Amino acid sequence: MKQSTMLLIALTPFTCWGATAEEEALQQQLDQLRQQLIQQNQALHQLQARLEAVKAAGTTTTTAGTAAGTAAVAASSQSDPARRAPEAGRSTEDLMLEQHNVFDRALTFDFGLSYQHYNRKDLALRGFLALDAIFLGEINLDRVRSDQWTADLVTRYTLNDRWQLELAIPYMYRNTNYQSTGKENSSRDFEEQSVSDGGLGDLSLAVYYRVLAEDEDWPDLVWNVRAKAPTGKDPYGTEFESSESGNLMTPKELATGNGLWQLSTGFSLVKTLDPAILFANLNYGHSLKQDFDDISYQPGEQPGSIQLGDWYEYGLGVAFALNERFSLSFNVNQRITLESEQGAEGFDMEKVTGSDANAASFGMGSTWAITDQLSMAVNWSAGLTTDAPDYSIGLRFPYRF
């Protein structure tokens, strides 16, 4: 009995120590739970304050999920203060490729077909007006109808998110019909002659630099520099042939280029105002003076120099991305060309009267993303001035890698 009593007395300190260790463990767990509860309450207070601020600004926000998950989203937004814009849809990207530039595609092949139609009538009066009512002399009515088809391949290579290179290779085919009164010396019958010709056009190489990337305050701004080489057939020194009556003269061949080096530069910009997209461009071009062995349509060679007039061009438009793959656009374009100059060898350059032009047009366009890489763009425009084509239609198929 004595031995049992002594054993209980000896084990009593160890029993007290075990109870104390368990209490300390439970106390630590309670402290951790209290700390977590305090953090969650702080997160809830922050979320409540943000919700009240949003309501005061007139914006309603719908929050889904638990309070802990919402607090995690809020903490993530605070850790990344830079607001990221959503990725542009394919319809927006196609539109920017058509009217502007896209720098997130490494390589793009853009094949296009276009058709332009011109119809011009000129009334020539050679004589004088007698008694303010009777015209004495020759009345001549000339009409020129021209159809032009162009197929071109445009290759764009993006170096990085700022620089892009472009090479355009066009092929042109033209058919022109000339009509004039005077057949068999009659003022009622028409003489007519059609001329067709085609060939390689003027190649062009362009460099694009992205000055500004679009954000909430600024549009996407791109600067371009373009050089056009005289690889097409020039119109200078072209021989003419006359009809039997001598009243109608037509060229033996048609030009597919202008025969001069041309340099141009300008800016284009795009601003997204959901659901509308605004775009504009402004360009200036200059032609270099070029010497030719023959600049006259008369028989024999007459050496001389040609310099085409400088030109200014602008365009304005608005587009709407109707859904992820289709967009619709409207635009107005105008190009003003100054008078050209020419001069025979050994003589000063002189301005060519009537060589200036003002070509303005109104157009519509649409883009359709056929697949993830292939798209189709359709454009139509009507001339607003006599120097612009009566109407033109274009079809393009950009393929992106």
One domain for residues 104 and 248 = yes
- My answer on whether 159 and 30 are in the same domain is no
Question: Domain range for residue 394?
Answer: 91-400
Asked if the structure places residue 260 within a domain, the reply is yes
Instruction: Give the end of a domain, one of 78, 107, 125.
Output: 78
Please report whether residue 98 resides in a domain.
yes
Q: Is 210 exposed, middle or buried (0-12, 13-18, 19+ CB in 10 A)?
A: middle
Ramachandran angles phi, psi of 75, nearest 5°: -65, -40
Q: Is the same domain home to 121 and 33?
A: no
Give yes or no: residues 292 and 193 share one domain.
Answer: yes
Final residue belonging to a domain, choices 17, 48, 78: 78
Q: What is the CATH number of the domain that holds 111?
A: 2.40.160.40
Residues 134 and 259 in one domain: yes
Residue 171 counted as domain residue: yes
Q: Are residues 74 and 124 in the same domain?
A: no
Are residues 185 and 276 located together in one domain of the fold? yes
Please tell me whether residues 203 and 315 are part of one structural domain. Answer: yes
- 363: in domain: yes
Q: Do the domain assignments include residue 249?
A: yes
One domain for residues 281 and 179:
yes
Compute and round to an integer the Cα radius of gyration of the chain.
38
Question: What is the separation, in whole angstroms, between the first and last Cα of the chain?
Answer: 96
Domain total of the chain: 2
**Whether 44 and 140 share a structural domain:** no
* Torsion from C-alpha of 91, 92, 96, 99, nearest 10 degrees: 70
In a domain, residue 85? The reply is: no
* 74 and 105, same domain (yes or no): no
Within this chain, do residues 45 and 178 fall inside the same structural domain, yes or no? no
Residue 276 belongs to some domain of the structure: yes
Domain boundary among 78, 111, 129: 78
Instruction: List per-residue pLDDT tens for the chain, 401 residues long.
Output: 444 444 444 545 444 444 467 777 787 787 777 777 777 777 766 777 777 766 666 544 443 444 434 433 334 434 343 333 434 567 777 777 777 788 888 999 999 999 999 998 765 544 444 445 454 444 556 788 999 999 999 999 999 999 999 999 999 999 999 888 766 655 566 788 899 999 999 999 999 999 999 888 899 999 999 999 999 999 888 888 887 777 778 888 899 998 999 999 999 999 988 889 999 999 999 999 999 988 887 777 889 999 999 999 999 999 998 888 899 999 999 999 999 999 888 888 899 888 899 999 999 999 999 998 999 999 999 999 999 999 999 999 999 98
Q: Which residues contact 227 (CB under 8 A, 6 or more apart)?
A: 204, 205, 206, 261, 262, 263
User: To 10 degrees, what angle do helices 2-56 and 67-79 make?
Assistant: 60
The rounded distance, in Å, linking the Cα atoms of 312 and 321 is 30
Asked if the structure places residue 86 within a domain, the reply is no
